Structure 1
Amino acid sequence: MSGPAAPRKVSLDDVRPTVIGSQSFAARIDLGLLKGVADPDLLGGPTPLTPDSRVFASIAEYPADKPGAPKFMGSAKMSVLNLVPYHHGVLTRIFIDWPQPLAAAVDFLVIND
């Protein structure tokens, strides 16, 4: 029985990057105190969202007494489960695996170019 394969290293010279232009943006949703599954919805934005938008998201904790403070990696498992862009929004499903509600924020990167 062999172990896991060594990670493949990929140089940026070997990929075709997407140039991000004027139709792309980043946004953050401060979710407040949550636990379990939740479905925050990112609405609007500086440019139109469509079902063809490419959307990426990350989730992490922030200090409960300081909304908007820098996010950090605590002991809780947090996951972005699904992202579904639609006309004028992105439906998001997240999961926070912790017994008490935690302050969390989701950062989005929307690419329309």
Structure 2
Amino acid sequence: MTKFVDDNILDIWWDKNITAGYDFWEQIDFHIENRDIICLFISANYLASKACKEEMRRACELRTHNGICVVPIILSSCSWLDYDNLKPLLAIPTDGKAISSFPNPDDGWHDVYNHMKKVIKDF
């Protein structure tokens, strides 16, 4: 997505952008609430994390109430379809196939890139 970033179409934020001394959860809540698109990078580790599940719950709540776009990106095989808030969402790569299951993971990331171009253009 470098082209989009270079053209200032995207403002990408993640929790590693939080500066020392700031309230971690306050910053995360602020940025989740002020995004048009939220990508959830789903793996077994993500689904095992209480903090990640809370971020997912909040993102899906904002999707329902504010119409933001929540995009699950499946990194590895996991039980993501067992989560009622994720189940109705069209996950990427295509058909919710895990990136790690591609013979060449670069092909999985290229699929994600192509889908995200469409998501971004729709906004």
TM-score class, shorter-chain normalisation, is under 0.3
Q: Which has the larger radius of gyration?
A: 1
Q: Which has the higher contact order (CA 8 A, sep 6+)?
A: 1
Q: TM-score, normalised by structure 2?
A: 0.25
Q: Which structure has greater strand proportion?
A: 1
Q: TM-score, normalised by structure 1?
A: 0.26
